[in-house]
Amino acid sequence: MLVSAGVVAQEAEFEVASIKLNTDARPPFNVVDRTFMRLTASGASNGRYTMRGFGAPTVSVLIQAAHQVKEFQVVGAPGWVNTERYDVDARAPGAATFNEMRPMLQALLAKRFQLTFHRETRQLPVYDLVPAGSGLKIAPMKEGSCVPMEQAKPFAALNICGGTRRQIVPGPERRDVIEAVGVPMATLTEFLSEETGRIVLDHTGFTDVFNFRLEFESTVDRGPSPSGLSIFTAAEEQLGLRLRSTTGPVEVLVIDRVERPSPN
């Protein structure tokens, strides 16, 4: 079945929207850059959907945010969808949240990029996240350790609930860290899925919110981990969690048509 992003909600559109090719020179993306773009693309609020300069997203990132899929679930797209970045400045009525703006983003992609697609379910490799033989090394968060973003006051010195990923050692021996405070297991599986390129299913039985720090050598943009501290080893040694390879049904979004946008 052919699906147009604009068919989802033709009446839900941004009041004003500008899309321009970002021509800033920058090195090739790494996994930290892509994570930043994805978090920014799905973190808009107050009726403003604005990403420019360093934070300008690729069309693939916009599709992922609009249709709630991961990078490896978008298939059949031409190469420029994953490399060209676009400055986006769109405004929605009132103080819309991102979830309220999501149908507007879907309509914008259909209108400006002529995006059409269909969804398929394919049997693909996945990972089950299970307790390691040594047992879990995570514990429920102490009440009051962080404040949800929606409750945070501007300029207040508060510990905000949520997670981030950053690079802590550059160069050939590059090392990344994922840190989170007051998050559910779904947040960890999201990060693990981005790193491994597979859907990660939670089979831990752990239902509390918790804090964690996961330090590892990313293999997404290069070969095997020189020190052996891959995401798999780090998860087991530092969190007491094991990624077990298996297969399962995965929904993919197959691109039927996408074009570069015409100038505003």
Q: What residues have CB less than 8 Å from 188, skipping those under 6 apart? A: 129, 163, 180, 212, 214, 239, 241
Residue 263: inside a domain? no
For 150-173, how does the pLDDT look when each residue is reduced to its tens digit (9 = 90+)? 665 655 545 788 888 888 887 777
Query: Which residues, in sequence order, are bridge partners of residue 126?
Result: 246
- Examine the domain organization and report whether 29 and 99 are in the same domain: yes
Same domain, 81 and 148: no
Q: What is the pLDDT of residues 90-118, one digit of tens each?
A: 999 888 999 999 999 999 999 999 999 99
Same domain, 231 and 132: yes
Provide the pLDDT for residue 1: 42
Please say if the pLDDT value at position 6 is more than 50: no
For 198-212, how does the pLDDT look when each residue is reduced to its tens digit (9 = 90+)? 999 999 999 999 999
In a domain, 10, yes or no: yes
Name every residue whose Cβ is closer than 8 Å to that of residue 160 and which is 6 or more positions away in sequence: 146, 147, 148, 149, 152, 181
Same domain, 243 and 131: yes
The CA distance from 249 to 124, in Å, is 6
CA 205 to chain centre: 24
Q: Are residues 129 and 116 in the same domain?
A: no
Query: Of 201, 186, 191, 190, nearest to 125 (Cα)?
Result: 201
**94 and 206 assigned to the same domain:** no
Q: In the numeric block, which tokens belong to residue 21?
A: 């090719």
Co-location of 74 and 137 in the same domain? no
Number of Cβ atoms within 10 Å of the Cβ of 138? 18
Percentages (nearest 5) of helix, strand, coil residues in the chain: 30, 35, 40
**Would residue 262 count as lying in a domain?**
no
* Structural domain harbouring 64: 3-121+251-257
Residue 202, token pair as written in the block: 């939670």
Are residues 169 and 194 both part of a single domain?
A: yes
Helix 98-112, helix 59-67: angle, nearest 10: 130
| 244 in a structural domain | yes
Residue 205, domain member (yes or no): yes
Residue at 151 is within a domain: yes
Which of 27-41, 136-150, 246-260 has the weakest average pLDDT?
Answer: 27-41
Q: Could you tell me the pTM of the whole model?
A: 0.78
What is the number of helices (H) and of strands (E) in the chain?
Answer: 5, 11
Residue 129 shares a structural domain with residue 246? yes
- Cβ neighbors of 182 (< 8 A, separation 6 or more) are 141, 145, 146, 148, 161, 162, 209, 210, 211
